[in-house]
Amino acid sequence: MENQKETEQLGTFSGYIRRPTPTAFGMTAQIFGENGDDADTILALSLSKYQDLEVFVNIYMVKDEAGRIMKKDDAYPLISSFNGFVRRSLPKKDGMIAQFFAPNGDSADSVSELSKSGYQDCLVFVDVRHQIQKKEKYIDLQNYKSIDDVYANKMTKKEKDAILESQKQYKKINEILEISDFLLKIEVVSSIGQPNDFQDWLDKTQPCSFMMTQGQNCKLNCSHHQVTGLFSKFNFIPLCDEHKKDFTEQHFQENDIYYDMKHRLLLKKWVLLKLKERFSYDGQSEPQPQKVLQWAIEKKIEKYLPEKYRKLAI
């Protein structure tokens, strides 16, 4: 095994191959990393101490352009491996481009392989180490683990574009739910969560709902407060300690329309959030209508779904 210093890993990142640029003396590999950790790692390689540093670079294909995982027999394809030199990275609006110069010979030939059309827009993993004479097997195993742990679930541009397009469609369909009374049906609310779930959400995320002078909002920390006059077993609103003292029966009766509306808006917001958590690809985006419909059928509450929604969700 090589000396630890000789094989020290300088950095790893994921990105997308850009066609290498040729010179009379060799080839320059270019890999684009998106804003975030990947771009930050590439930016770090722009530090003066790394310029013209001789490095050993391994590039593995993680996913093809369509987003298919390329792992086979517990290994990811190594599409290029070469000794080269760090060059200044190039800034882009949505990320950074890492550059590594490979001199003529085997290294430049390996970089030339990255010119293949089949590699463009594929998600790759880049391992940058101090220059070595011979690559040991443990390096591949170390990199396979890094890919599995961090990068295998990362989406390609094509996957992101497909999700973005589907999100637009889901949003239009879900707007039908938002203007219907489906989200407020007690059978639906009870199927998506329990009162203590609603209470916990109010306590952690919602501001005080006390009715104040127009244009004013209470900014004090609050907790859930049960209101007998509100419908269902989810009859809670968030109130701070100060306003709980002022929330008398008379105050509620005088402002019951406001509190009923406020409660319904909060409940609807919470139910929609729970649908996103269960039925969106990341737990935060638009819920997938087909999955919502299937869930409603399983819970025997599909009759409450608007007819138009059911037709579009199939």
- The distance of Cα 129 from the centroid of its chain, to the nearest Å, equals 29
CA distance 103 to 83: 8
Comparing CA positions, the residue from 15, 66, 77 lying closest to residue 43 is 15
DSSP 8-state secondary structure symbol assigned to residue 152: T
- Flag whether the pTM goes above 0.75: no
What are the distances in angstroms from CA 60 to CA 22, 98, 144, 150, 219? 21, 15, 9, 14, 51
CA distance 32 to 177: 40
Complete DSSP assignment for 34-48: ETTHHHHHHHHTTSG
Q: Yes or no: say if 98 and 156 are a contact pair by the CB < 8 Å rule.
A: no
> Exposed (0-12), middle (13-18) or buried (19+): which is 182, by Cβ within 10 Å?
buried
pLDDT in tens, the chain (314 residues): 344 455 688 999 999 999 999 999 999 999 999 999 999 999 998 888 888 899 999 999 999 988 899 999 999 999 999 999 999 999 999 999 999 999 999 999 999 999 999 998 899 999 999 877 667 888 999 999 999 999 998 888 888 888 999 999 999 999 999 999 999 999 999 999 999 999 999 999 999 999 987 768 888 889 999 999 898 899 999 999 999 999 999 999 999 999 999 999 999 999 999 999 999 999 999 999 999 999 999 999 999 999 999 999 98
Q: How many residues does the chain have?
A: 314
Quickly tell me which residue has 């574009």 as its tokens: 161
Token pair in block for residue 168: 């637009």
